[in-house]
Structures are given as C-alpha cells and as structure tokens.
Amino acid sequence: MIDLEIIRDARKRISSHILSTPLVHSPSLSHVCGTTVGLKLEHHQTTGSFKLRGATNAILQLTEADRARGVIAVSTGNHGRALSYAARAVGSRATICMSRLVPENKVSEIRHLGADVRIIGGSQDEAQQEVDRLVANGLVMVPPFDHPDIVAGQGTIGLEIVEAVPNVATVIVGLSGGGLAAGVAAAVKGMRPCAKVVGVTMERGAAMKASLDAGKPVQVEEFPSLADALGGGIGLDNKLTFPMCRALLDDVVLLTDSEIAAGIRHAYEQEREIVEGAGAVGIAALLARKVAGLRGPVVLVLSGRNIDIELHRRVINGVKNPLGEMV
C-alpha cells in the first residue's frame, strides 16, 4: 500500500515541476445532482493530463546511471507524453511502445517530445511485450500505473482535493490500470476516512472492473472507445494497484460511449472545458445518474484534455458514431 506519508513526500519532490491545478465549482452539475459539485481541472496540467505527476516522481528518483540508459514504457498515450516530457527535462530519453488503438494526435505529440515511438500490435498487452524485450536489452521501465512512485505521484491530486474541499464526501475518478484511482483514494481516505471514492470506466474492455469481479487480475479484450486513455490491461502480475483498488474503491461505474459523449458535450457546453473521453467520465456518470447513494460535496477529477480535435468536433456536433470506421 502507498500511504499518506509517501504521497506527501512525492508532493515535496515534484512541486516545482508540476502545476497545482484549480478546483472550481460547477453550478450546472450541482443543479443536476442537488448538491455541491466541484471539478478538479487536472486536464490543465502540463502535457494535458494528470500523468505528469507520477512520471515526474518516478524520473526524479532514478539514478544518473539509469537516466543515462534511457527509460521505456507502454502507454495508451498520456503516460507516454508525460514520461517523454519528464525524461527530456532531466536529460534522459524515452522509448514509448503503444498499440494501434492509440489516437494519432497522441502519438505525434510524443514524437514531438523526442521520444522513440514504437507501434506494436492491437493491444496494450502486445505493446508491453516489446517493452519487456527492450528492458532486457538495458532500458529502464517506468510503467504507467503499477509502480509505487507512479501511484504516489498521482495521489498528490487527492491531497489537493481535500485541502480545497475539507468536507468532501464523494470523489469520482477515472479507472483504468488503477494508478490514478489508487493514489487519489489513498490520499483522500488517509485524510478523510469517511469519504467515498468511486472509479468510473467504459463498459467494454474494463480490465480493472473485470479483475475486481474475478478477485484476481485477468486479461480482457480491448475495444476502440471514446475513453481511449482508459484502455489496456492491468497486468496479470499486478502487485499494487489491483489490491489498492480492491481495498479503497467504494464502487465502480461502467459507461457506454453514448454516455461518455454526453459528458464531453456537457464539459464543453456548460463548463467551457475541452476534455477527452477519459476526462469526462465523472461528468458522464453524474449525468447518467449512475453513482449510487451520492453524497456531497462531490469532486470530479477531469483527468485529461488530449482528444483529437476533429473527434471532439464530431462529438460536440452530436454525430451518432463519432469514432467512425473504428467502431
């Protein structure tokens, strides 16, 4: 388990390298829910997602020798961008392995940061095989979620939430490999044990939900989704985020792509925020009234903004199948 002390240490380490993002009141969602709702604007983070927190915390704890060897990771896009940025900042170089499901806009942004990009297979699990091969050849792996430095870095969001809303009752956060959800839950419950933390993910290919239901990590088939950043497996040898999510999450909510699209539209039309599908799942869960026993104050983590702008335009315009031939 990652505890409050470890997360506080991570905040001291990364504070000069990341943004402490705003937490703002949402009148529209407060009206929908009948209680106070706040938005943690983590999509305003440098590199456009929360991932920079964990990647920076991990990079800063590598030895000079390890930085010189270069770092490598599998990614659905946002971790790769964050790791590439953090590596470049300390004079290291990143190699990022991704599947064909990763949107091209995320791939190109990683290339612009000077990373060696490798597109491997049709799933994150297949891309991980290339990571394993290159680690055996000397590169240093910085995984996207199942690592104590990553979880602790993401957990700094939870510290900021409770400091901004000391009486927070419900925190809603996107759920994929579990780095964000586990870190935020550890911080929030460490400071406010009575608070409820809810993970939200897409209906098809939800690896952590399937694993929690099975009582152990399992593999799932990956599908294209508006919440592409939530895709991928959790690893059959998952050592940290699975047990933490099992112990700390109070519920997991599943969403259809139509519900996620509604969340993206609401963010744009009512909150004046551009968010990607994974960043909109908290809004979507509230709009779909899928959070059972909702108590306020509520805080949603808007986790990322790195959506292809043409895809965003199709969603906002109400295109019935915005993913087109991908679906």
The amino acid sitting at 69 is R
Contact present, 28 and 271 (Cβ < 8 Å): yes
| Closest-CA residue to 3 (of 158, 225, 176, 216) | 158
Beta strand segments in the chain, E? 23-25, 37-40, 71-74, 94-98, 116-119, 140-141, 170-174, 196-202, 251-255, 298-301
Q: 303 catalytic, yes or no?
A: yes
* Phi and psi, residue 291, nearest 5°: -90, 110
Q: Is 317 helix (H, G, I), strand (E, B) or coil?
A: coil
Query: Which residue in the list 75, 123, 176, 303 is annotated as catalytic?
Result: 303
d(C-alpha 37, C-alpha 117), whole Å: 39
DSSP 289: T
Q: How many Å from the N-terminal Cα to the C-terminal Cα in the chain?
A: 38
Q: 216 catalytic, yes or no?
A: no
Query: Which residue in the list 40, 49, 51, 211 is annotated as catalytic?
Result: 51
Relative to beta strand 71-74, strand 37-40 is unpaired
The amino acid sitting at 186 is A
Positions marked active-site: 51, 303
